[in-house]
Every structure is written in structure tokens, then in C-alpha cells.
Amino acid sequence: MLRAALVVATATALRAPSRLLPTRAVLKAATLAAPPAPKTADDVLTLESFVKADGRLDPIGLAAWAGYEKKPFARPLGFAYFGALFAFVAAPAAPVFARLLALQYFNYSLFEYCFHRWCMHAKDGTLCDRIFARWNRLHVQHHIDTHDDMTMEDGYNWKGIRFNYLTTKLSIAISCLFTVGVNRVFGLGLPFWPTPVAAALLSLYHGVIWNRLHTDSHDLQATLTWDDGIPYVYKVPVANRYARWLLTNHIGHHTIKGTGNYNIVFPGPDHVMGTFHRISKTPKADQESDAALLDL
């Protein structure tokens, strides 16, 4: 009984209330070191503690601190989200090219989810593993070489994180074919000739955002050139909530060991499939401490 009481009391003490840091701490610079451990309830870190003065996120500091948990009611939100998207695609009064772009968004978000989950994380020896071994081996090694704070092992093969030209071309072709199928099945009446243009625009956007934010999340900014694929573009605006959310979402993918948050640029399918995880109110260190106490 005494041992159980001690475990409960210790776990409760570890869960300090969540509050923002004072302004001077919220505007701290990015650092490769883990954030300082809170000393009192007033010093507890939050997501906002890792937003730098220029509005960009400090992914390295956040990764060392953040714990993740499944978001409740994610599936109803996902279905509502895609329901609204398809309502727009099927609306005859909406501009045709805008409808095509919305459909490409769905295509790419689905492609991103399926390719990431079942090809890049294919289990050893499965059919997807044999077919997509080139991508699977690189991506599995990417997870192995990623530290808990998202920094990489020395000598890491950075080609495992970029979106190259081959993948871009394949995604355009797949998106065009999928658009033709959806158009015929649902009788949307969308013309085909602007479809490759819409698919190429979404693919270009996807490649630019992926190669910027994914390299940012692992502190590998100066690694991509035009010879490797769409390079790291410094002028891409990332000091906004959208970019910070995408970075936070991908940090979660690594924190939960590749078991969720498969969408990186175009969110949605993770919600529908029940694999979306959000930042928990309980930091990573507290979650690990609670797990260790439960193992006693």
C-alpha cells in the first residue's frame, strides 16, 4: 500500500500545471541543446516557449521536450474536412481550375499518407517492402539515425530526407490518373487538359515545402541542391502558424517512432485513419518518468 501511494504521489508531482514562460523566455533563440528543466510551476515550458523572435519554430528544442498523444475525435474532424473539400470539388458554380487544385490536394494528401505509411515504413519481407525497397531502406535508416531531439548522426546520408525529381514525376502521373478516375466515377465534368498543370503546381509546392521544412526539422539546411531535387529555398515563409504546425506534426512522427503523423505537407488522412497525434500536455520527460514508475 505504501509503495502504491508513493508511486501515485510521485506521478502527480511530475504533472505540473501548464503555463507560458515569461516573454523573455518565449523569445529564446534556437539551440541544439535540450531546453532547461523547469524548476517551479512558473517555469514550465509550453509549445509557445519554442517560437523564436522572428516567428519560426525551434524544432530541435521542441523535439527534446514534447510528448505526444492521440487526438480525441480526430476521425469525425477528418471526415468533415474532406466532406467539405469534396463538396467544393463537386460544386459546378466554383471555378474549374480551383476545383481541380482542391482535387489535387486530396490526391497528394492521400498519396503522401499511403506512400509514407505502407511503402516507406513497409514491414520487412512484405510485398511493399520488396517493391519499394529503395525508399524503404533509406527511410528506415533515416529513423535509425535521428536522435530524440531530431538532430542526425554524424555522417548521415541526407538523401534519405529529400523529395527528388523521380518522386515528383511519379506523383504528378499518379495524381493525373486518379483525377481521371474520380472525374468519371462521380461525373464531375472536369476537363482533362488543365489537370497536368494543376498536378504540377501542387507537386512543385509539395516539393518546396517538404524540402524546406523536413530539412529544418533535422537541422540539415545546407544540404540540398538542384542536382538532388528541388533545393532548400530560404525565402519560403515559415514564420507562421501553418509552418509551425507542420513542423510540430512531423516531430510527432519521430517521437512516436513512426506509428502516426504520416502526412507532412498536406494533412487530413491521418485524422481519417486515426493515426494523428498532437502535442500532449504532459512533456516527454514526464511521460517517460510515469512509464518508468508504472514498471516498478
Say if CB 28 and CB 56 are below 8 A apart. no
Using only C-alpha atoms, the chain has a radius of gyration, in whole angstroms, of: 21
Distance CA 207, CA 198 (A): 14
What integer pLDDT is reported at residue 223 of this predicted model?
63
Give the Cα separation of 79 and 252 in Å (integer).
22
Written as one string, the DSSP assignment of 29-53 is: PP-SSPPPPP-SGGG---GGGGB-T
Contact 277, 256 (CB under 8 A): yes
User: How far apart, in Å, are the Cα atoms of 197 and each of 161, 175, 203, 229, 281?
Assistant: 26, 11, 10, 19, 43
What pLDDT, on the 0 to 100 scale, is given for residue 128? 86
Query: What pLDDT score does 39 carry?
Result: 40
pLDDT at 231: 78
The model carries a pTM of 0.78
**pLDDT number for residue 141:** 84
Place of cell 522572428: 54
Residue 149 sits at the vertex; the CA angle it makes with 56 and 32, to the nearest 5 degrees, is 65
- pLDDT value at position 30? 39
Q: What is the pLDDT of residue 70?
A: 92
Q: What is the mean pLDDT of each run of 10 residues along the chain (296 residues)?
A: 42 36 33 44 65 90 90 93 95 95 94 91 86 83 89 78 78 92 92 94 90 85 70 86 93 93 94 94 62 48
The residue type at 293: L
Task: List, for residues 194-232, the tens digit of each pLDDT value.
Answer: 999 999 999 989 988 988 888 888 887 766 667 767 778
pLDDT the model gives residue 42: 40
Q: Return the pLDDT at 176.
A: 94
